[in-house]
Amino acid sequence: MVKLFNNFVGNPKNDILSGLTVALALVPEAVAFAFVAGVDPMVGLYGAFMMGIITSLFGGRPGMISGATGAMAIVMVLLIKTGNEVGLAMETPYENLGLQWLFITLLIVGVIQMSAGFLRLGKFVRLIPHPVMMGFVNGLAIVIFLAQLDFFKTGTGDDKSWMTGTPLYILLALVGLTMAIMYFLPKLTKAIPAALAAIAVVAAITIFGNLDVATVGSFIRDGGGTGMEGSLPEFQFQIFTLFDTLQGHWAIILGTAVTLAAVGLIESLMTLNLVDDLTETRGSGNRECVAQGAANMVNGLFGGMGGCAMIGQSIINVNSGGRGRLSGAVAASALLLFILFGAPIIEQIPIAALVGVMLMVVIGTFAWSSFRIINKIPISDLIVLIAVSAITVWQDLAIAVVTGVIMSALVFAWNSAKRIRARKSIKDDGTKVYEIWGPLFFGSVTAFNNKFDPKTDPEKIEIDFIESRVQDHSGVEALRNVANKYLDLGKEIKLTHLSPECQELLMRRNPEFESIIERSIEDPRYHIATDLLDAEV
């Protein structure tokens, strides 16, 4: 309780000002991602508010910002489109049925994510290799940068074209001014967040200078919205009457729910890891899973589009001095106040100012050190780094991270498989000793089997594992098969320096191994990654 209290009162000035800055940056992204998903902008804004307030209060990482995100919005598109088609084809047409399906899906997403937290699966983010992490931040920086390029175009839909002439020069000047203020102001004073000051200055120039530039309000209206003015989120009673419309469509509901849950958790836990590095503190991945799940359930019940952690806004918050839970709570609360009371003011903020802020986020996010270490890391790590960056841009963050982890795991398995060795010697009594060195697991089983020649070996054999570890069920099976080959030939074999668990697993399949396993006080103690039920088969 004391720690929770300190997270709110530790540095209130910085947290409040940083939260206000983040709230301004949340508006255009929440609206843009709502357009991507095919829902009303207010659904995106409600989603950003509810995700932000719940995760800021109960999440596993003070200072981390959550809201509506593009990675999850893309996954929602097919579900919403399918639901709308089903709704219009009903005997009594139901408009926007896809949105109602989304709310139902978010309830399932919440259950999955909270279950991941209760099962303590959040800790697995710590297993993500460094090349994957670098590829993740580099790819994300590129994605954020590419997203800003859309603001340099005019028109709507497929008719967009690049700006030219005076409008382009004004936009570039305002973006450049925003970036300059954010770069130089911290060198003079850190009394106020540089991003907030930059937005205020550029907004004042455009308002009092009566400049004809794109604003938050025009952005919403160009996308088909009517404005930011709204009311408090309302409980969605109707979703509990629509479960009959899901008959024959549960596959897409459950598939989308699993994908959304996975994408949300991966992006959130990766963001948590990054903010940990920036702040040199450590958050709780399991607690974040529970908070994200609860927030998505609340979104489903109160009409938001759901979401997860937002790395760009999280970095803005941290760099602006927002390190406590108060910053996220202020950001979410301010966003709601914008919706309820401040729409006319917020809609006048120029998009150029927000683009400038996000471009500074790009510069701060990209791991520029990756260029310096190209010639200093293994080629396999370099390939993983580049692949994760490219897949992040090409597909999405979740696919990129999963692919990177799989690639790293395969490289590790391959390298480990090549390390197994067998030093051979002959004792005075004629016993041939195989001293095994290196890990025995699924990847090294073939090389392990090739070390032995049961037919030509002498009558007495000893296999010593003092320098080796049997790491999985494949390794146990390989050892059992080799021992049985010698026994079938009537030869005497002895297995030494196996862990107690390995000895037990071997004797479950072959009780007669009791006589060939030699126990010693020097036997190593380690666990084996294997299913004990499989070992009994």
Q: In whole angstroms, what is the distance from residue 381 CA to residue 387 CA?
A: 10
Structure tokens at 303: 């009409």
Distance CA(68)–CA(41), nearest Å, equals 11
Q: Cα 168 vs. chain centroid, distance in angstroms?
A: 35
* DSSP conformation letters of 325-364: HHHHHHHHHHHHHIIIIIHHHHTTSBHHHHHHHHHHHHHH
Write down the pLDDT at residue 532.
40
In the chain, what are the domains?
Answer: 2-370 (no CATH), 419-536 (3.30.750.24)
User: Quick one: pLDDT at residue 399?
Assistant: 81
User: Looking at residue 177, what is its pLDDT?
Assistant: 96
Q: How far apart are CA 365 and CA 139, in angstroms?
A: 10
Distance CA 54, CA 57 (A): 5
* pLDDT tens by residue, the chain, 537 residues: 555 555 555 678 889 999 998 998 888 778 777 877 878 888 989 999 999 999 999 999 899 999 988 778 878 988 999 999 999 988 888 988 999 999 999 999 999 999 999 998 887 776 778 888 888 888 878 888 888 888 898 876 667 789 999 999 999 999 999 999 989 988 888 777 788 888 889 999 999 999 989 888 887 777 666 667 778 899 999 999 999 999 889 999 999 999 899 889 988 988 898 888 888 888 889 999 999 999 999 999 999 999 999 888 898 899 888 888 999 999 999 999 988 888 888 888 898 988 888 888 888 878 888 888 888 888 989 999 999 999 888 877 778 888 998 999 888 888 888 888 999 999 999 999 999 999 999 889 999 999 999 999 999 999 999 899 898 889 999 999 999 999 999 999 999 999 888 888 888 888 888 899 998 877 787 777 654 434 333
d(CA 415, CA 410): 9
Determine contact, residues 136/309, Cβ cutoff 8 Å.
no
Tell me the longest C-alpha to C-alpha distance in the chain. 100
Token digits of residue 355? 């683009």
Token pair, residue 503, equals 């000895």
Task: Report the distance separating Cα 36 and Cα 74, nearest Å.
Answer: 7
Summarize pLDDT for 335-364 with one digit per residue, the tens: 999 888 888 888 888 989 888 888 888 888
Enter the tokens of residue 228: 């930011």
How is residue 529 annotated by DSSP?
A: B
Residue 264 near residue 292, CB atoms below 8 Å: yes
Nearest to 329 by CA among 291, 371, 280, 383: 291
The answer to whether the beta carbons of residues 387 and 404 sit under 8 Å apart is: yes
| Rounded Cα–Cα distance for residues 323 and 321 (Å) | 6
Q: Cα–Cα distances in Å, from 314 out to 61, 197, 271?
A: 10, 18, 8
CA 524, CA 465: separation in Å to the nearest integer?
9
Structure tokens at 249: 């469509």
CA–CA separation, 471 and 444 (whole Å)? 10
Report pLDDT for 101: 96
Q: Specify whether the CB–CB gap between 168 and 437 falls below 8 A.
A: no
For residues 121, 125, 127, 131, the Cα torsion angle rounded to the nearest 10 degrees is 160
Q: In terms of Cα–Cα distance, which of 355, 365, 24 is closest to 179? A: 355
Amino acid identity, position 428 = D
Kindly report the pTM of this predicted structure: 0.72
Q: How far apart are CA 496 and CA 466, in angstroms?
A: 8
pLDDT on residue 227? 65
> For residues 300 and 106, is the Cβ–Cβ distance under 8 A?
yes
How many angstroms separate the CA atoms of 333 and 350, rounded? 22
Of all helices (H) and strands (E), which one includes residue 128? Answer: none
pLDDT of 531 reads: 46
Q: What is the pLDDT of residue 184?
A: 92
Cβ-based neighbours of 527, under 8 Å, separated by 6 or more: 499, 501
DSSP letter assigned to residue 370: H
Percentages (nearest 5) of helix, strand, coil residues in the chain: 65, 10, 25
Distance of CA 86 to the CA centre of its chain: 32
CA dist list (Å): 319 to 7, 89, 95, 315, 365:
17, 50, 43, 6, 11
CB atoms within 10 A of CB 14: 21
Interatomic CA distance for residues 333 and 22, integer angstroms: 11
